Structure 1
Amino acid sequence: MKKYDKLIFVDSDDTDRAPMASAIMQKKYLLSPLKVCSRGLVVLFPEPVNQKAEAVLVSNGLTAKEHAATQLSQEDISGKVLLLTMEEAQKEKIRTGYTNALNVYTIAEYTGVSEDVAPLYGAPLSAYGKCYETLEALINRLVIQLNEEELKK
């Protein structure tokens, strides 16, 4: 029996880091299928992905062109959903603001890394490139971890 059915990357507004993480993860190989998406903690309307994030994704052979920012809702949370945030404060906001939010971690925490994924608000394109590299490394670790958990069953 699979531990998780769904993986949600969570960011502040679901326009840059979380959609990039989702796009990267969707191209990875997992031993068991896992629905992957992203959500935001404060989404006022369905914005597209940040242009700089999309440029970095495209330069790496990916896209989030069809992405529209979506608010994290109580319906997104269940025991079979893994929620990975970019920052510790986002994790705490979910734990205190949603019921039954049991599987909530920062992506760094879940993969055994010490640093959060830095916010990108107002950052230059080069920072988005660096963020992509950070997310790629974290997600590579995540894929190994999820596949190992699947093999242990």
Structure 2
Amino acid sequence: MNRILFVCTGNTCRSPMAEGILRKLLAEGNLTGYEVRSAGVAAYDGTPTSDHAASVLKERGAEGPRHSTFLSQPLIEWADLVLTMTSSHKRHTIQLYPAAVDKIFTLKEYVHDDPAETAKLAELESFVTELQLKQALAQPISEAEQAKLRTLGGELPSPDIADPFGGPLHAYRKCAEEIEACLIKLTAKLKALD
């Protein structure tokens, strides 16, 4: 698992910050042999990284990509591990590249270390997928299903890292802190695998 790909929407904020911060953490932990990239499910190749994302990376002594990259089949094939910023990015990536399902996770899901919450999260994601399929088939979602969705969702912390796009600098800093907390767990996991 030496090639890690981070995925967000436009590849201008969250995934570039994750890429830059992980590279820094890998270097600080003397973890060599890893390659890190990022891409976006709705990115336009060559769009500059957000000024605030670049500023936050600079404050942290890290450097991410300067321009966005669209998520593509070659990138999916390149990656050993694909970590998305939200569950919707995960579902979208799996829909586009179903053969890669075994290596696609949300970042929080992958580093999560509470088995009970992990099981509940898997149940929630499965149920959401089931409801999306019903919607796609123009089938109504019952009140009982809506109540179950609210109950399951209320029992768990959010599996998503919120998008700071267009927000103030402090929103980007908060986002980077959340990403870094996950990446510290990721580096510990990678050390254990070495």
**TM-score normalised by length of structure 1:** 0.87
1:17, 1:80 → 2: CA distance?
A: 18
- What amino acid is the match of 1:90? H
In structure 1, the partner of 2:34 is 34
In structure 1, the partner of 2:3 is 6
Aligned residues: CA RMSD: 1.8
In structure 1, the partner of 2:45 is 45
User: In 2, are the aligned partners of 1:53 and 1:128 still within 8 Å (CA)?
Assistant: yes
**1:10 partner SS:** strand
In structure 1, the partner of 2:105 is 105
Q: Deviations over 1:31-56 (max 9, x none)?
A: 45111011111122311110011111
In structure 2, the partner of 1:84 is 83
**Cα gap change, 1:70 to 1:79, in 2 (>3 Å):** closer
In structure 1, the partner of 2:119 is none
2:192, 2:2 → 1: CA distance?
A: 16
Aligned counterpart for 1:136 among listed residues 151, 175, 180: 180
In structure 2, the partner of 1:122 is 166
In structure 2, the partner of 1:23 is 20
> As a proportion of its length, which structure holds more helix?
2
Tell me the matched-pair count: 146
1:133, 1:16 → 2: CA distance?
A: 13
**2:49 partner SS:** coil
2:111, 2:89 → 1: CA distance?
A: 17
**Cα gap change, 1:45 to 1:76, in 2 (>3 Å):** closer
In structure 1, the partner of 2:62 is 62
Between 1:104-113 and 1:7-16, the stretch displaced more is: 104-113
**2:71 partner SS:** coil
Q: Deviations over 1:67-95 (max 9, x none)?
A: 21001111112386100000000000011
Between 1:5-14 and 1:69-78, the stretch displaced more is: 69-78
User: In 2, are the aligned partners of 1:30 and 1:147 still within 8 Å (CA)?
Assistant: no
- What amino acid is the match of 2:166? G
In structure 2, the partner of 1:96 is 95
Seq. identity, % = 32
1:140, 1:89 → 2: CA distance?
A: 23
User: In 1, are the aligned partners of 2:21 and 2:63 still within 8 Å (CA)?
Assistant: no
Offset, 1:97: 0.9
Larger radius of gyration: 2
User: In 1, are the aligned partners of 2:23 and 2:62 still within 8 Å (CA)?
Assistant: no
Structure 2 stretches of 5 or more lacking a match? 114-156
Q: Which runs of 4+ in 1 moved over 6 A?
A: none
User: In 2, are the aligned partners of 1:78 and 1:100 still within 8 Å (CA)?
Assistant: no
In structure 2, the partner of 1:149 is 193
Structure 1 stretches of 5 or more lacking a match? none
